[in-house]
Structures are given as C-alpha cells and as structure tokens.
Amino acid sequence: SDTEKGTYDHYMLKEINDQPAAMRKIIQEYQDEDENLKIDTEIIDQLKDSDRIYVIAAGTSYHAGLIGKEFFEKWAGVPTEVHVASEFVYNTPLLSEKPLFIFISQSGETADSRAVLVEIKKLGHKSLTVTNVPGSTLSREADQTLTLHAGPEIAVASTKAYTAQIAVLSILAQVAARELGKGTEINLMQELAKVTTAITAIIDDAPAIEQIVNEYLETTRNAFFIGRTMDYYVGLEGALKLKEISYIQAEGFAGGELKHGTIALIEENTPVFALATQEKVNLNIRGNAQEVEARGAKVCMVSMEGLNQEGDTYVIPRVHEMLTPLVSVVVYQFIAYYAALHRGNDVDKPRNLAKSVTVE
C-alpha cells in the first residue's frame, strides 16, 4: 500500500522513487477530457481578480514557493511575493489592494502558516491552500484548495511533495496565463511528461550519485550549494535536504553572493555543489565555480544537457528551462539520502525534526 515502504530500505528512498508516478498522477488529475489543463473556475477567477499573490509557507514548501513565483510572474504576469510564514505573521508587509494568499503546505497543518491564514481572513482577504492533505486544517480554512496528489509522504525530509508542489503551481500559472490571454503558454503537459522521463533516468542512475557522495561528502563538515535564478532556489532546497538528514552544515547561495563574505569559509577540499541549468546565467555560474575552485573548493558541477561542458560532474537530461528544478532537485535528494545513509543516520526520522510542526 501507499503507506508501506515495501522493498525500499527507507520511506525517503521510496518517496524519491515515487516521483515519476506522482508526476503522472498530477498530469492526469489536472486535465479535462480534451487533454487541456484544468483548474476550478473559482480558483482562476480569484487569481484573475487579484493584483498580487502572497505565497506563505515554511521549510521545503517555502522553497517550492520561490519557484512558483517565477511561474506566476513570468507566465501569468501577476506580481508575487514569497514569505516565510513565521516572519509574515509578526511583520506583515504593506499589502496590495487585492491580494490573493496562496498557502503551500504538504501537511496542511503547519502552525506558522495557519497563524497567517487566521490573520488574513480577519482582514477579509482571499486564500488558496496547495496541500497534499485535502481534509487538513489549512485546506478546510482557506477559500479554495488545490491537491498535490503525491500520495502520503512519511519521511520527515520532504521530497515528492516538493516536486508535486512545483508541478501543481506550474499548472495553476499556465491556466492563469491562458485565461488572462498572456500569450505565454507552453505545452505544459508534454513538458511535464518529459520531466517525468528525466526524473526516471536520474532514479535509474542513483549509483552514480552515490559515487558523488563518496567523492565529495564522506569526511566533510560543511558544504555549499550555489546557483543563479532558478538554480539558486534549488540550491537552497539541496542545502536544506543535506542539513536535515546528514547533519552536514550546508548553505545555499546565489552564485554571485558567496564572494561577498562566505567565500572566507572555503578551504582546501570544501565541497561546493553548483547547478547550471539556465542558459542565461550558464557562464556566470561557471565563473563563480572557478572563483571558489581557485580558493581550494572541490566543485561538483551539475549541469543540463545542452549547457554542459567537459568536466561537469553530473549532467541531467534536457527539459524546459522553467521546469529544471523538478529534475535537478532529484540529484540533490539522492545526495542527501546517501550522505545520511553513509553516516549511519536515521534517514526517515532525523534528530530534532518533526514531519509537521503544529506549534508556533
């Protein structure tokens, strides 16, 4: 059944492997009989009626929200802010006239996010919850819900919920773009199908990623993740995954930012994971990689087919440039998994962490 790990050693490994099936399920759930993208009219109307989106989330869901912002702004043309729930509630920014609040929460139970929902409802604002658990508190209390259809996620470190969140947000933004006549439509279902194939290829290639862990992470105490634009956001998630379960101190940075301070921490053999999936910044991120390499860093360059260069450590299959996070993150999920496994950690139940945090 869905809540058993079956032949897998850990729920996390199972859930990483569940991702192609989750993608297929999402593709199926979000299309009509004519295979057009489908989202409830009320949700689209709410979105069309708003002048700004405020995404509220915590942890991995916050990182998915950062990718969602790119979709809402670049496709649907709606200005979007992404906020950490625990900060927003005590330091609410100036709101636009017609805000739409989108809560992203795997569990739908995160207290920090719920506190924001309670406040914005008092102000009379509209809300949409994107969650894996339709009957959850955030789902019941918001005006609308979009379901992730990822199946139960048991491991504390979130994997398939993150990719499901990004996929569902991409569908929402594309339908909004269509309904608003933005002219930014892509054949999203076809592109998500390509993503599914690419994720499967990486899953089949997991032993190669375990080798990367052997080479880069066996003895280190820290690691850095750099990237630009979308790749920066995926780096934040890669660092979080690694911290959560391997307990290696890890930080994600914008490629250009490391040199403004943190580069002081680079020593001989400090691992730096660099992501290069975005054509516009491909040469820039490679420049950043050279900067840290010159200070002794050991750079693991993860690039995308078509943008790859000789010597790259790992090359992911080519997918639509707005959807690369769905694929590149899988490499980082495996890196975190094997790093934790090799250190003998409890992969599914890391110390000090809870699957859902229901206290503020």
Half-sphere exposure of 73 (CA within 13 A, CB side): 12
Q: Does 58 bind ligand G6P (CB under 6 A)?
A: yes
Q: 350-353: long-range contacts (C-beta < 8 A, 24 or more apart)? A: 350/156, 350/157, 350/244, 350/245, 350/247, 351/247, 353/156, 353/244
- Token reading at 306: 């078509």
Residues ≥6 apart with Cβ < 8 Å to 157: 12, 60, 241, 244, 245, 336, 347, 350
Single residue of 59, 151, 238, 271 touching ligand G6P by CB under 6 A: 59
Q: How far is the CB of 143 from ligand G6P (least distance, A)?
A: 18
What is the nearest approach in angstroms of ligand G6P to the Cβ of residue 357? Answer: 5
Chain centroid offset of residue 187 CA: 21
Task: Tell the smallest beta-carbon distance from residue 208 to ligand G6P (Å).
Answer: 26
Kindly state the smallest distance separating residue 3's Cβ from ligand G6P, in Å. 17
Q: Cβ–Cβ contacts within 10 Å for residue 211, how many?
A: 13
84 φ, ψ to 5°? -70, 125
In the set 38, 259, 349, 355, the catalytic residue is 355
- The token pair that represents 191 in the structure block: 């592109």
Question: Is the CB of residue 324 less than 8 Å from the CB of residue 304?
Answer: yes
Segment interacting with ligand G6P (CB under 6 A) among 53-61, 86-94, 190-198, 217-225: 53-61
Binding mask 89-108 for ligand G6P (x = CB under 6 A): ----------------xxx-
- Binding status of residue 156 toward ligand G6P by CB under 6 A: yes
Q: How far is the CB of 128 from ligand G6P (least distance, A)?
A: 14
Residue 110 near ligand G6P by CB under 6 A:
yes
Q: Is 38 a catalytic residue?
A: no
Q: Is 60 in the site for ligand G6P (CB under 6 A)?
A: yes
- Residue 67, exposed/middle/buried by CB under 10 A (0-12, 13-18, 19+)? buried
Compute how many residues bind ligand G6P; rule: CB under 6 A: 16
Among positions 19, 46, 61, 80, the unique one binding ligand G6P when judged by CB under 6 A: 61
- Min separation Cβ 206 and ligand G6P, Å: 21
Crossing angle for the helix pair 160-179 and 19-29, to the nearest 10 degrees: 30
For the chain, give the number of residues. Answer: 360
Give the residue with the Cβ less far from ligand G6P, 201 or 357: 357
Q: Which residues, numbered 325-354, are part of the site for ligand G6P (CB under 6 A)?
A: 353-354
CA distance 70 to 85: 19
Does 147 participate in binding ligand G6P (rule CB under 6 A)? no
Nearest to 194 by CA among 306, 305, 18, 319: 319
Return the number of the residue (107 or 270) whose C-beta is nearest ligand G6P.
107
**Binding to ligand G6P by residue 23, rule CB under 6 A?**
no
Say whether residue 148 binds ligand G6P (CB under 6 A): no
Please say which residue, 107 or 288, places its beta carbon nearer to ligand G6P.
107
C-alpha torsion angle, residues 313, 319, 324, 330 (rounded to 10)? -60
Q: How far is the CB of 59 from ligand G6P (least distance, A)?
A: 3
| C-beta of 255 vs 325, nearer to ligand G6P | 325
What is the CB neighbour count within 10 angstroms for residue 342? 14
| H helix or E strand, kind and range, residue 70 | helix 59-74
Does 252 bind ligand G6P (CB under 6 A)? Our answer is: no
| 308 interacts with ligand G6P by CB under 6 A | no
Q: Could you say whether residue 356 binds ligand G6P (CB under 6 A)?
A: yes
Active site residues: 355
Task: Report the interface residues with ligand G6P, using CB under 6 A.
Answer: 58-61, 105-107, 110, 113, 156, 158, 353-357
